[in-house]
Every structure is written in structure tokens, then in C-alpha cells.
Structure 1
Amino acid sequence: MLVDSSLGFRVQSVAVRGQLYCGDKPAANTLVQLYDEDDGPDPDDMLDKVYTSEDGSFELKGDTMELTNIDPEIRIYHDCAMHLPLCKRNGSLEFPTNTSILALIRQHG
């Protein structure tokens, strides 16, 4: 007997835009990625990625097919406040899907 595993799965979408700062200066050319964070053996789904513009602004959007509600997360790879920026630091920010967000994120070392 074959069972259709797609039953109950639904397409879910998310979008976020914002502006990144390093101290009081725009964080230009900073990699920002949008993920759906998953638990267990299911790997996280990258939905979109972009580098910030000269003024630090970004806009991400994506969709994925999931059985349960998605858990969107922004991952930021930056060299803010690093004396020797040989590699990028990363940080993440989770946000609820039922909230409209215009994110103004200030990065501090």
C-alpha cells in the first residue's frame, strides 16, 4: 500500500525587510539569509539570501512546504567590530510568522 506523504503539507510564505548597522554606520555588503528552522533529522531550509545594499538595507522572501508551522529565522554573517576581519561572525534572529516586521537591527560587537 502506498501512502501519499504530501497529505497535510501546505505551502507557507514569509517575507522580511530591514536595515543593518554596525554601530552608527550602515552595514553594507553583509550576508543575510532567511531560513525555516526545522527540528530533528530534517535540515533547516534556506529560503532566500542577499547581501545588504550600501545603506545596509535588505529584503528577503521565500516559501516552503511543511506539515507544521514554519519557524523563520534570519542569519547574519558580519565582521562588525572585529579588529582583524579574517572570518565572519554570525548571529541569528527568530521572529513569529504572524507579525509584520520592519526590522532595524543594530549590530554591536
Structure 2
Amino acid sequence: MTNADTIIRTLREKFGYSQEVVANFLGVKREMISYYETGAREAPLEVLEKLADLFGVDLDIFFSDTMEAASTELAFAFRANEFNEKDLESIAAFRRVIKNYQRITNLEGKNA
């Protein structure tokens, strides 16, 4: 199991999403999420990009050396008992905006 596999599972569980919910968001079968989480299949870059948006983390979290390093990247946690695919798309879009805002703020701070 690679770090990306562990991180995908850890983030999914941390946010309270089932494999089925994440699979629907990605447009894949639930089994694919299980394969990604067990290391049976490597998640393609496009999938990792969508997961980064969904979880509100930078893409490089999936390439971190340790889960501790990855954990420092966690930002906004949305938990819900009932949500649909449209809700997840909105959450992912919101988190993408927040990530971009944080990047701009960090760049402005470095240039000040």
C-alpha cells in the first residue's frame, strides 16, 4: 500500500464519506475506490485532482512521504448525514476556491 492509498482512505473516512458516495462523485464504480484504497489499482492523476478538490487539499498531499505531513494540509471539513452528488460538486468547487485563495494569500505574504 502506497501513501496515496492510505491518504485516500484516511481522508474519505475523516470526512465521513462512504466509498459509494466518493465513487458516485468520481463517476466510477464503488469497487474502484476500494482498489485505490488497497493499492490494487493506482488512482489516475485526474482522479487524484478531483479528490483533492473534494477534500480541500493540495494535490501533492497524495505524494507526501508520511500521513503526518499530509495531515497538515487538511483545511475545511464538511460532514453531512445526507448529501447528493450535486452537493459534493458544490463542496469540491468551494474547496477549490479556498485552496486558490490560500495560494494567493501565501504568494502575497512572500512578496510583501
Point out the structure with max Rg over C-alpha. Answer: 1
Q: Which has the higher contact order (CA 8 A, sep 6+)?
A: 1
The structure with the largest strand share of the pair is: 1
| TM-based fold match above 0.5 | no
The structure with the largest helix share of the pair is: 2
TM-score, normalisation: structure 2: 0.25
